[in-house]
Amino acid sequence: MTRHFLTVSALSPEELVAVLDLADDLKVTRGQRADLAGRSIGLLFEQPSTRTRVSFQVGIAELGASPVVLHRAELQLGRGETIEDTARVFSRYLSALVVRTLDHQTVERLALAASIPIVNALTEYSHPCQALADLQTIREYKGGLAGLRLTYLGDGNNVAHALLQAGAMAGMHVTVAAPPGYEPVPQVVEAARESAAHGGTVTVTDDPVAAATDADVLYTDVWASMGRDDEHDARVLLFQPYQVNGALLARARPDAVVLHCLPAHRGEEITAEVIDGPQSVVWEQAENRLHAQKALLLLLLGAADRIPAVTPS
């Protein structure tokens, strides 16, 4: 049975921990495993990307496989060939396909038609690969995940969705503080509550100060995501109280760490003082994209010998 990774809920709580464990191993043993030698993995990016594109491309090469970089305009997709036919054909050449596109339905349609794993490298709905690296990073700095207070401030977007699901599954107390009207979608909040494990909880509020108080981790992302650029100016005033700045950070625990998926807009969702300050772990977080995604690919392709056998869903 083909395993896809369209949202974090494609993994069980046990698999999530196993991926993080393997990611830690791969970080320490970088360059020593070529478990995917002889395979080819497609990378289809319909939106800009710095970290996701390069970390996948490098990670695939480090695992011994060939990354095949695809551009929509150079495929027959750009001339009207269907998503389903494209998925069927790719399944005859590739071992997996990594896709960044705005419309989540596109990755769902690919997954329905493909007989190879489809990996969501960001849609408007979710950014699950990011959440794997986020948890790996938090665990590195905090020594564990269960029981920690993780507060996300800003837009209830794709990154917030993935973090809610992953954090709750890992037993964290996840709070999203967003302006009214910009909360995460209710179905995601409900699904995160349902899949919460190890005592994990989920809270949504519009109060940034209460949310930041005593947090172990503060997290933010851009106020206007890809596809929402035209809303940027209207959002800046509305989102101002959710800015991660020195005053808000002072509300968190003294040993709190600050994460941002990047790209960052200094002076908007986060101040330079905070993102470039001693509590920021964003560069380690960016590096961990590489290790976490390598672990994910090994799991999806059944090559993660340290991961217990997976029950097809």
Q: Is 173 in the site for ligand CP (CB under 6 A)?
A: no
CB of 80 to ligand NVA, least distance (A): 27
Task: State which amino acid sits at residue 226.
Answer: M
Tell me the helices (H) and strands (E) count for the chain, helix number first.
Answer: 12, 9
Q: Which residues are catalytic?
A: 100, 127, 130, 221, 261, 289
DSSP-derived 3-state class of residue 203: strand
- Rg value, the chain, Cα: 19
> Site mask, ligand NVA, residues 204-233, x = CB under 6 A?
-----------------xx--xx-------
Which residue, 53 or 149, is less far from ligand CP as judged by CB?
53
Round to whole Å and give the CA distance between 269 and 53: 24
Stretch that binds ligand CP, among 19-27, 43-51, 57-65, 189-197 (CB under 6 A): 43-51
3-state SS class at 67: strand
Q: Which does 222 bind (CB under 5 to 8 A by kind): ligand CP, ligand NVA, none?
A: ligand NVA
Binding pattern to ligand CP, positions 112-151, x when CB under 6 A? ----------x-------x---------------------
User: Measured from the CB atom, is 27 or 289 closer to ligand NVA?
Assistant: 289
* Beta carbon of residue 88, minimum distance to ligand CP (angstroms, whole number): 27
Beta strands in the chain (DSSP E): 40-45, 66-70, 96-100, 118-120, 149-153, 173-177, 201-205, 217-220, 257-260
**String of DSSP letters for 269-303:** TB-HHHHTSTTB-HHHHHHHHHHHHHHHHHHHTT-
| Interaction of residue 159 with ligand NVA, rule CB under 6 A | yes
Least distance to ligand CP, CB of residue 122, Å: 6
**85: helix, coil or strand?**
helix
Q: Which member of 3, 4, 33, 51 binds ligand CP (CB under 6 A)?
A: 51
Contact flag: residue 27 with ligand CP (CB under 6 A): no
Site mask for ligand CP (CB under 6 A), range 240-279, x = bound: ---------------------xx-----------------
Distance in angstroms (rounded) separating the CA atoms of residues 3 and 296: 11
Give the distance from CA 74 to its chain's centroid. Answer: 27
End-to-end CA gap in the chain = 8
Convert residues 103-132 into a mask of x (bound to ligand NVA by CB under 6 A) and - (unbound). Answer: -------------------x----x-----
Residue given tokens 């330079």 in the structure block? 272
For residue 121, give the amino acid letter: A
C-alpha to C-alpha distance for 287 and 202, rounded to whole angstroms:
27
Neighbours of 140 (CB within 10 A): 17
**How many other CB atoms sit within 10 Å of the CB of residue 37?**
11
DSSP category for residue 312: P
Q: Which amino acid appears at position 145 of this protein?
A: L
> Toward ligand CP, which CB reaches closer, 153 or 196?
153
Secondary structure class of 106 (helix, strand, coil): helix
Instruction: Report in angstroms how near the CB of residue 17 gets to ligand NVA at its nearest.
Output: 24
Per-residue x/- track, 53-72, ligand CP (CB under 6 A): x-------------------
Which 8-state DSSP code applies to residue 263?
-
Residue 50 touches which of ligand NVA, ligand CP, none (CB < 5 to 8 A by kind)? Answer: ligand CP
27 makes contact, choosing from ligand NVA, ligand CP, none, with CB < 5 to 8 Å by partner type, with none
List residues binding ligand NVA (CB under 6 A): 122, 127, 157-159, 221-222, 225-226, 261
List residues binding ligand CP (CB under 6 A): 49-53, 122, 130, 261-262
